[in-house]
Amino acid sequence: MPAADAFPIASSPRSRVLRTGNQACRPRSGEGGLLELYEKYLGQDGGCWPDVEPVVVRRHGRAASPRYLQERQPKLLWRKLLAGPGQQGFPTAGLHVWQLACTIAAFFPTPAHPASHAQASKQASSLVPFQAISLPPPPAMSVLITGASGFVGQTLARALLSLPSPPALILADLHTPPNPLALDSGIYADVQCIAADLTDPATCVSLLSRKPAAVYILHGIMSSGSEADLELGLKVNFDSVRSLLDAVRRQGPGTKVVFTSSCAVYGRAAVTNVANEVNVVPMPESSYGTQKLMIEGLVNDYSRRGLIDGRVVRLPTVFVRAGAPTAAASSFVSGIVREPVNGEEAILPVDASLGIWLVSPQTLAKNLIHAMNVPAEKFGHFRTVLLPGYTASSREILDALEKVAGKEVRSRVREERDETVQRIVLSWPAKYDTSRAKALGFSEDVGLEQTIRDFIEREKSKAS
């Protein structure tokens, strides 16, 4: 087996089409990345292998990944494949740049034209991370994330991929989730993005057939949406989650399951108290909170029975969410920062003095990963934990926004009361005791001003 890190990555401009079997095709979504890398990294003038044309090896109608070939067909992986006179092909998924780079390096132990070796090496030296690449072993585990198109799902996926040994990811949502793996990120990982209707029990069974070691259940209809449409809320927030839990317990008993619940489970009775997981009885005053609480009960019971290894995390309001507003009653909390920072007007629909429990996206992602890693025995029989956050009113948020971004930005927010949103927010406690979370090793947050600064920096980096 050749050592892949010995060779530069080089090729020719003639690779304009993919050849699959006897058919040639123009690059499309996914496989287009194969050609982009092939043309960019393999040298335009006198590359090492000027007559090479790519061949995609297929498995069940889809491109087979190097990981699959490494595990199931090692002889094929390391054997040169003839693709025509004077040509050599190689198997690749055509899905991730790193896989293509590894496979090219593995298939060409020596340059076809030694005279061009120095030039190719010079080109390759500037192409980090492709200048010295070797085929990594398959990931030790895979993680399924439902609701992966959403802001939290994408944030969590990126955080998992940034780990020293990133897991393989199965990202599922009603529509195919974006792949968070940037082509130039230098991260080597296996990411599958799947369109999946989780209200269909058969779909849940299909997802679990991939044998993930851990499942993050993030999908759902948000608070305002659940209140507006009871049937839809029940179908998505309860029925589909139960189907997924049942698929886990039948196909992968003992699998770790992290379910994201909400402070909406508490209700107004807890508002005058400092809420926690143990001493305050949840009495939700919204359909969303009720649906979350019902699933909490299932996760705890299935864990008690040993059917799953469940962890329920009650989330603070995520602040600041990038992207479009959601149907959550708390959507305005991010909106009164996000829209003004981007030059747009925002509406504050509640009393500016109402306190809200907040967490930054980065801290939330860190704590979601930690939730997967906490040993089951540390949770005990009760698997619910309230994640750390901090309390801030809309007025305090706007004061921090003005301090960080200026008066003009703050002036883009106007008050316009929405009684439905006000009623829902009033049912959420604003003060919490997170001593259980801290004892379990969860991280505390960075605070208002730093969170706003981080958001503005991310927006600037996206624009540049």
Q: Would you please indicate which residues are annotated as catalytic (active-site) residues?
A: 288
Q: Is 164 exposed, middle or buried (0-12, 13-18, 19+ CB in 10 A)?
A: exposed
Tell me the C-alpha distance between 359 and 22, whole Å: 54
User: Tokens at residue 342, please?
Assistant: 């981007």
Contact (CB, 8 A) for 283 and 270: yes
Tell me the C-alpha distance between 247 and 146, whole Å: 14
Contact (CB, 8 A) for 412 and 345: yes
Establish whether the linkage from the previous residue to 177 is cis, with ω within 30° of 0: no
Tell me the C-alpha distance between 36 and 28, whole Å: 11
Q: In 342-377, which positions are buried (b, 16+ CB within 10 angstroms) versus exposed (e)?
A: eeeebebbbeeeebbbbbbbbbbbbbbbbbbebeee
262 contacts: CB under 8 Å, gap ≥ 6: 223, 288, 289, 292, 314, 315
- Give which of 222, 219, 426 is closest to 329, Cα–Cα: 222
